[in-house]
Amino acid sequence: MNLIDQTFARLREEGKTALMPFVSVGDPDLDLSLDILKQLQQSGADMIELGVPYSDPLADGPVIQRASERALRSSVTLRDCILMAERARAEGVTIPLILFTYYNPVLQFGLEPFFELVKDKGISGLIIPDLPLEEDSEVRTMSENYGIHLIPLVAPTSRERVTAIAKRAKGFVYCVSSLGVTGVRAEFHNDIDHFLATVKEATDLPISIGFGISSREQVERFEALCDGVVVGSAIVRVIEESLPLLHDPATKAEGLQRIGQFVSQLKG
């Protein structure tokens, strides 16, 4: 059984919602990323999205763009991001890892070798934000063959597409909270409750919400409606603010602690 399914099943029994932090792998470098992943698990993360840095992150706002740029400056590749899963496992990270990557790096890697490596290194799910339903048949077939969940995004603008997307989904359905790119925001789509209800109706799978969620209050608001809450830019921003601490060996622990504290207060 896929680790994502196991985790959601357990949380459902416990009546809990998954907290799913996103980080850009390699921001600011691979070793620190590893420390951050361990810290996230320790502070209560239930799953982690491993963001692959990309030169043209169309779905991302400025915070994740900057993280991507920092990681690319240390020449982090798709392979490094996948291998990060193995390193994390070796250091005691047991929660599900989900790879978040734009399509072109995967395409250049080659689909077959990509899935081989993803499977081998213990990644459970895959999110490709620029691969909508119409373009994903090859990737979907292959992810089914390899037992990796291809997790689709649905947006408030998806309307009648929700059913078709949800029907093919594996793992969970990722609901985009509002129109726009990733990033902290004060307001969500005004019909958000209705949108989430529509998605719930269309699938028996867990649903998670993401894009713009940054505070405990917001997490709390969605815990009642969703099985998982993704927090991306807000965490990446705390990492960014902690960079001076992280870079200095004398204050690294303090930096990690700051990130950890942010995550545990989100968890409530």
Partner 1 sequence: MTQIPDSSGRFGKFGGRYVPETLMNALLELEEAYTHYSKDESFQAEVKELLYRYSGRPTSLYYARRLTEHLGGAKVYLKREDLNHTGAHKINNTIGQGVLAKRMGKTKIIAETGAGQHGVASATIAALLGLECKVFMGEEDMKRQQLNVFRMNLLGSEVVPVTSGTRTLKDACNETLRYWVSHVTDTYYILGSVTGPHPYPMMVRDFQRIIGDEARSQMLAAEGRLPDYVVAAVGGGSNAMGIFYPFVEDEGVRLLGVEAAGRGVDTNEHAATMTKGRHGVFQGSLSYVLQDNHGQVLPAHSISAGLDYPGIGPEHAYLKDSGRAEYVPITDAEALEALQLLSRTEGIIPALESAHAIAQTLKLAPTLDKDQIVVVNLSGRGDKDVEAIMGYLGGAEHESH
- Taking the least distance from each CB to partner 1, the nearer of 179 and 197 is 179
Q: Does the active-site annotation cover 60?
A: yes
For residues 151 and 127, is the Cβ–Cβ distance under 8 A? yes
Q: Which spans of this chain sit near partner 1 (rule: CB under 8 A)?
A: 54-59, 61-62, 65, 69, 72, 77-79, 103-109, 129-135, 152-159, 161, 165, 176, 179-181
What minimum distance in Å lies between the beta carbon of 71 and partner 1?
Answer: 11
- CA-nearest of 268, 156, 136 to 210 is 156
Tokens 């622990």, located at residue? 253
- Taking the least distance from each CB to partner 1, the nearer of 7 and 158 is 158
Buried b (16+ CB within 10 A) or exposed e, 36-65: bbbbbbebbbbbbbbbbbbeebebbbebbb
- CA-nearest of 175, 179, 168 to 144 is 168
Of these residues, 46, 60, 80, 227, which one is catalytic?
Answer: 60
Of these residues, 5, 49, 80, 227, which one is catalytic?
Answer: 49
Q: Does the active-site annotation cover 49?
A: yes
What minimum distance in Å lies between the beta carbon of 257 and partner 1?
Answer: 31
d(CA 36, CA 42): 10
Element (H, E) at 39: helix 30-42
What minimum distance in Å lies between the beta carbon of 24 and partner 1?
Answer: 14
- Taking the least distance from each CB to partner 1, the nearer of 28 and 156 is 156
- Taking the least distance from each CB to partner 1, the nearer of 83 and 245 is 83
d(CA 3, CA 116): 17
CA distances from 7 to 74, 183, 199, 231 (A): 33, 26, 20, 18
What minimum distance in Å lies between the beta carbon of 179 and partner 1?
Answer: 5
Catalytically annotated residues: 49, 60
